Chain A
C-alpha cells in the first residue's frame, strides 16, 4: 500500500468503516511506515480532542422554559387571532373603502395618508390581545406529570461498600471494617427535594401565603422569579406566574408540602430522595484518616533535624490541610442538603383552576368555558378595534354627508335650471 492511499483511507480506518481486507492492509502499512504512524497519531489525537470537546457543555437552565413560554404565547394568539385579525381587517376595510370612495370622488386626496397610519394602531391592539391571552389555556393543562424522581432520573443511590474505597484513598488500614458502625453513627443521610406546581385564582394572596408558610417553618426563599403582568387582569385573564426555590428544614418538609398544597390547586407534587449515606461515610472516613495523618506528620516535625526535612514536612502538611478542607467542605455541603430540603414551587395565575385529574365531563366543561372566554376576549378585541376607528369613521361620515349634500344641491340646481329653461 502506498502512503497516499493510506492517508486517503485514514478516516475510514479510524471509523472502522473499511472492509476487513482493507482494515488489514491499513494495519500492515501502519506497522511499517513511520511517516504514516505520525499522521495516524495526529489525526487520532484531533478526533479524541473533538470528541471530548463538549463533555462539560450543558444547555442553560431556562432553555426549555423560554421555548415553552414562546410556544404558549403563539398558541394563545392563534386561537384568538381570527377575532383580532377580523377586527383589524374590519377597521382597515372601513377606512380604505371610505378613502377609496372619497378618492374616487376627487375630494380630499391628502387623506390617503391617514390609512397607513391605521395599521400600527390596530396591530398594537392585537399585541395586547396576544399578551393577555397567554394564560388563557393554562387552564386546560393536561394530566399531571409523572413524579419528578422518575423524570430527573434520580437513581436511588445504594450505599456503596465503603471499605474498599476508603482504604484505597486513605491507605489507612485501621479504618477498615468500620463502615457499618459509622453509617449508624451518622444516621441515614438522605437528600430530599420536592417540586410543587400549582394554579391559583388569587395570585398575590397565595404567593404571600407560601412565603409566610416557609418562614413559619424555619425555612427561607433562595430565589424567586416572577413573570407576567397584573394589568391584564381586568381584561379577563391573569397571566402571572412565580417560580420559587425554597429551602425548608427536612424534618418539616412533609408538613410544608401538606400545608402548601392547601394554598393553591396543586397540579404536580412530587418528592425525590437521594441516599448519600455511602458517599457521606466514605468522605467522613477519608477526612478522619487525613486528620490522623496530619497529626502524625505534625508530631514528626519536633524530631526533624535538617531544613530539607522541615520543608518536606511543611509541604506535606499543607497538602493534607487542603485535602482535609476539601472533604470537610463536602460534608458541610451534604449536611446542608440533608438538613434543608430544596423545594421548587411554581405558582401559576389562572382565571379558572382545573382539577388535577379532570373527568371527561370536567374537561368538556372546561373546553367550552375556555372557548367561551376566548370568544368573549376576541369579541372585546374586535370592539376595541372598532372603537379605536371611531375618529376615522366619524370623519368619513361627515365628509360623505357633506359630499352627498353638495351632490344633492348640485342636482337640484341643475334640475331647476332645466325647468327654468
Chain B
C-alpha cells in the first residue's frame, strides 16, 4: 500500500496529521487552479483553503473510484465554480463586465514593436483567461495550464470526453480572440 493510500485510510478515520500529509503534495496545484479560476491571489488563497477543508469534510464520499488527485481537483474546481456562480448571481462585477464598461485590466505599456516581454505576456494571458466564462476557464486551465489529460478533466468536471474536448477547443478560440483584440488595442494606442 503506498503512502497516499495509507494516509487516506488514516485520514478517513479522523487522523488530521495523516490528512495534512496527504494533501501537502497537492497544495501548489490546488492553489494554481484556484488562482487561475479566481484571478487574484487573495481569493485564490481563500478558495484553496476552502477546498482543503471541504475535502476533509467529504473524505467519506471518496471511495477510491478515481485517483486522489483527480478527486481533489474535482472538489477544488467545484469550490471555485460555486463561488463564481454565487458572485455572478450577486451581480458583482466580473472582469468581463468591467471590461465592457471600459476597464482595462492589462496596462498595455508602450513597447517597441513586437517585443512583448514575458511579464507582459503573462499578464495578458492572465486577463484573457479571466475573461472566459467559469466553466470554459476551468476546462482550459486544467488542460493547458495544468497539462492534465482529457480523460482526467472529464472525470474532474463530471462531463463526457467529447464535451470536454469541444469545450477546451472553444475556450482556446475565445482566448485567441481576446488576445487578438488586445493586440489590436495596444497597436491602436501606439499609433
Contacts and interface: CB of A to CB of B under 8 A. Distances in A.
Q: Is the interface of A mostly helix, strand, loop or mixed?
A: helix
Interface stretch (B62-70, B82-90, B104-112, B168-176): B168-176
Given A50-B125, A71-B56, A145-B21, A63 B48 contact: yes
Contacts of A58: 28, 31
A57 interface: yes
Given A47-B144, A57-B31, A68 B125 contact: no
A60 B144 contact: no
Q: Is the interface of B mostly helix, strand, loop or mixed?
A: helix
Interface string A36-48: 0000001100110
Given A53-B126, A57-B35, A71 B19 contact: yes
Interface in A138-189: 141-143, 145, 151
Interface in B27-53: 27-28, 30-32, 35-36, 41, 45, 48-49, 52-53
A71 B150 contact: no
A63 B49 contact: yes
Size class of the contact patch on chain A: 20 to 34
B14 interface: yes
A57 B28 contact: yes
B80 interface: no
A70 interface: yes
Contacts of A142: 10, 15-18
Nearest to B172: A11
A195 B54 CA distance: 29
A59 B14 contact: no
A192 interface: no
A60 B16 CA distance: 20
A59 B28 contact: yes
Contacts of A57: 28, 31-32, 35
Nearest to B3: A146
B14 A70 contact: no
A72 interface: yes
A51 interface: yes
B20 interface: yes
A53 B15 contact: no
A68 B28 contact: no
B92 interface: no
Given A43-B172, A60-B31, A72 B23 contact: no
Interface of A: 11, 15, 17, 42-43, 46-47, 49-51, 53-54, 57-60, 63-64, 66-68, 70-72, 74-75, 141-143, 145, 151
Q: Which 3 A-B pairs have the closest CB atoms?
A: A59-B31, A67-B52, A50-B144
Interface of B: 10, 14-21, 23-24, 27-28, 30-32, 35-36, 41, 45, 48-49, 52-53, 56-57, 121-122, 125-126, 140, 144-147, 150, 165, 168-169, 172, 175-176, 179
Given A59-B28, A63-B49, A71-B19, 11 more contacts: A15-B150, A54-B145, A58-B31, A59-B27, A63-B48, A64-B20, A64-B24, A67-B53, A68-B20, A75-B14, A142-B16
